[in-house]
Chains A and B, each alone.
Chain A
Amino acid sequence: MSDKNKMTSNTQEILVKVEGLSKKFCKELKTSLWYGVKDLVSGVRGSSEERELRPKEFWAVKDINFELRRGECLGLIGHNGAGKSTLLKILNGLINPDAGKVTIKGRVGALIELGAGFNPILSGRENIYNNGAILGFSRKEIDSKLEEIIAFAELEEFIDMPVQHYSSGMKVRLGFAVAAQMEPDVLIIDEVLAVGDLGFILKCFKTIDTILPHTAVIFVSHNMPMVSRICNQVILMERGENKFQGEDVSRGIDYYYNTFLTSEDSNVVYTDNSLELIDASVKGVTPINNVYSVKWGETVVLNFNIKNFSLTKAPYISLAVYDKEQRAVAEIYPEGQQLNKIVIDEEISFSFVLKNIYLSKGIYHITFNASEKAAFNVNYKIHKAITLKIDHEKQMWTPFLLDSEVINRIK
C-alpha cells in the first residue's frame, strides 16, 4: 500500500476528478426558498430522487467532466453567469451537486474571497489571526508566520491600525498575504486578484507561479493572456454547459472570443450627419459572418463607400485598428489623400492599400473616421467598419508579429 502510494505520489497522481457534475438553480427567490425547505427535508431523510428540473429551475452547471493532476492548471472561461463560480463552489464543497461526483485528494485551498473573517474594528494583526483561523491554520502556525505575512503585505507600519481605515488595496494585500501561506494540494482561484495595484498583482502571480508546479490549480478568469500563460487545459462554459474542453488552450480562447463575435454590429460613435458609410469591404475577399480572413503579411486593399449629404470638400479618412479586447493597436493615415471638391448627395468610394499586415493571429476591428483634416473636426466615426481575421499558425498575445529572419549564419 505504502509502496503504491509512493509510486503515485509523483506528478501523475490525479488530484481532482469530476464526473458528470450538474447543479440546478432557481430563478425566483420565494420559490427558491421553498425548494430549500423541501431539500432540507429530503436531505435529512436522505432521499436520492428528484433529478428533474422543477418549475422555474434551470441547470447552472450541466454535465461537466475533467481530471486534474498535480502540476496541471485548468482554466475555466466563459461569460458572466456561465456557471464558473457555481462549479467552483461545488469543488470547494460549499454546495452539493445535484448529479455527478467530485473526488478531491489532499488539502484544498481557495482564493475566492480574500480577508474572510476580517472585522473592521480590529487591527490588522488581530485580523491575521481571524483570517488564518478560518483558512485552517493553528495558532502556532500563525505565530510563526506572522512576520512573514506582515512583510509580504508590506503593512509593517499599519499593522496595528483598525482594518476599517485600510484602503481596499491594503485589505486585499493583507488577505492575500495570509492566503499565500497555505500549502494546498489543490488550489481554486476565482477572480480575486483584479484588485490591488500592478506591483501587488505581479507579486501575487509570482507566488502562484511557485505554487503551481506541485499543485493542481483551477483558475477562473476573464483575463485571457493570463489564462494562456498559466493554464495547460481549458473548459469554456456557456449556460452551464461545456462548449469546449481540451489542452489546446489557444483554441479554447479563440472560441471564447468568437462567442462575442456573433452579435457584432458596426456602430456609429459620432456623426454630424454630413456623410454616411454605406459599404466597407476587403477587395477580393468573401466575408464569412462579416469577417474577412487575411493571411499574415499579406497586402490588401480596403474599399469604403460613403454617401455625401452636405460636404463640399472630400473628407480626410483615417483608420484605427482595435483588437478583440478593444485595445487600440494601430492607426492608419493613408498617404496622398486629396481633399477635392465633391457633389452633395452622391456616393464616393475610397480605396486604400494596406501593405504587409504584420498583425499577429487573431481578430481585429477597423474603425473608420472621416474628418475635415487629419485629426481635426470629425464628421463621422464608426467602429467595426471592417472585421479582419489574421491567419497564422502561431498563437501569440502581442498584437504584432514582425517579419524577421536570420541574416548571419553560425559557422
Chain B
Amino acid sequence: MALETRVYQKERTIKFGALLKASLKDMYHSRFLARQLAERDIKAMYRQSYLGIIWAFITPIATAAVWIFLNSSGTINLSDTGIPYPVYAFSGTLIWSIIVAAINSPMQGTQAAKGILTKINFPKEALLLSGVYKLLFDSAIKIFLLILFVFIYGVGFHWSLLLFPIAILGAIIFGTTVGLFLTPMGLLYNDIGKIITFGMQFLMYVTPVVYAIPKEGIMKTLMLWNPITPIVLTARDLVVGFTPVHLTYFAIVLMGCIPLLFLGLIIYRLSIPIIVERLSA
C-alpha cells in the first residue's frame, strides 16, 4: 500500500480548487471528531450547571421582555406589526440570538481549541463543524420554545412553520460565513471579538428585530440595505404564517453566502498555521 505523503514548505502554489476540495474532504472525514467535540462541550456545559439549558435562551427572553414592557406600558410607541407584539419581539430576539451565536461560533471554537491547535495536528475543519453542531443543538431548543410561544399567543399552526428550520439554517450559514472571515484576525487580536460584541448591539437596532421597518426615512434605507433583515423577516414570516415578502432578497443573501463560505474555508485553512505560530500556547 502506498503511503500518504505530506510536504511542508514555504513555497506553495495556491490552487483554490484543490484547497477547497481538501478542506471539504477534511470536514467530511472529521464528522466523528466534530460530533465528539460538540458532545463534549454540550455535556460539560450542562453537567456543571443547574439551570443548564435556560442559559441558551435567557438573553433573548430578557431582551424581548424589556421591549414587551416598554411597548405595553406605553413608554415607547411602536407601529403595528400585524401579530401580537410579544410574538413579534420574541421571535425577533430569538432569531437574532441565533445569528449572533453563529457569527461568534468559528472564532470561539478555534480560540477554545488553542491548546490542542499548537500541539496536535488534526483536521481543523472539525472545529468549525463542531461549532455548527452546537449551533444546531442550541437553535433546536430555541425553535421549540418559539413554537410554544406562537401557540400560547394564539397565532396557531401554519404549514409554513415546517419551512422555518430552513430559514434558521440560512441564518446559521450566514452567521458562520461572516464569523469565518473574522476568525483569522480575531485570533490574533482580542479587539476583534470585542468589536463583534459591541457592533452587534448596534446592528440590532437597524434590523427589524423588536420593531418593524418604518414606512420611510433613513432608518428604512438602512434596514433594507442590512443583509440580516431578510433573514430575520423571512424566518419570522414563516413562523407566523405570513407570505415572506423578502424571499428573493433572502435567496440572494444565501446564494452570496455559499461562495463566500467556501472562500472563508480556504482562508481559514491557510491561516491556521500562521496563527498557531503566533499563539504558541
Contacts and interface: CB of A to CB of B under 8 A. Distances in A.
B40 A94 contact: no
B257 interface: no
Contacts of B185: 37, 40
Given A100-B10, A103-B6, A37 B188 contact: yes
B278 interface: yes
B32 A133 contact: yes
Nearest to B36: A133
19 contacts: A5-B1, A36-B275, A43-B270, A44-B14, A44-B267, A44-B270, A46-B14, A93-B273, A94-B273, A96-B274, A96-B277, A97-B8, A98-B10, A103-B7, A119-B43, A122-B44, A130-B36, A133-B37, A136-B122
Interface in B1-37: 1-14, 32-33, 36-37
A43 B274 contact: yes
Interface string B39-78: 0110110011000000000000000000000000000000
A247 interface: no
Interface stretch (B113-121, B143-151, B171-179, B217-225): B113-121
Contact of A108 (B43, B118, B121, B189): B121
Which of B1, B32, B122, B270 gathers most chain A CB within 10 Å?
B32
A35 B19 CA distance: 24
A103 B47 CA distance: 44
Contacts of B12: 46, 48
Given A93-B8, A101-B8, A101-B9, A40 B116 contact: no
B226 interface: no
Interface residues of B, number: 45
Contacts of B11: 48
Contacts of A100: 9-10
Interface of A: 5, 15, 25, 32-33, 35-37, 39-40, 43-46, 48, 51, 89-108, 110, 112-113, 116-117, 119, 121-122, 126, 129-130, 133-136, 138-139, 185
A96 B37 contact: no
Given A33-B278, A40-B185, A93-B121, A105 B115 contact: no
A35 B44 CA distance: 36
Contacts of B43: 119, 121-122, 126
Give me the 3 closest cross-chain CB pairs, A-B, nearest first: A46-B14, A133-B36, A106-B3
A15 B3 CA distance: 9
Contacts of B8: 90-91, 93, 96-97, 101-102, 104
A290 to B, nearest CB: 39
B22 to A, nearest CB: 13
Contacts of A98: 10
B276 interface: yes
A15 B13 CA distance: 24
B248 interface: no
Nearest to B16: A46
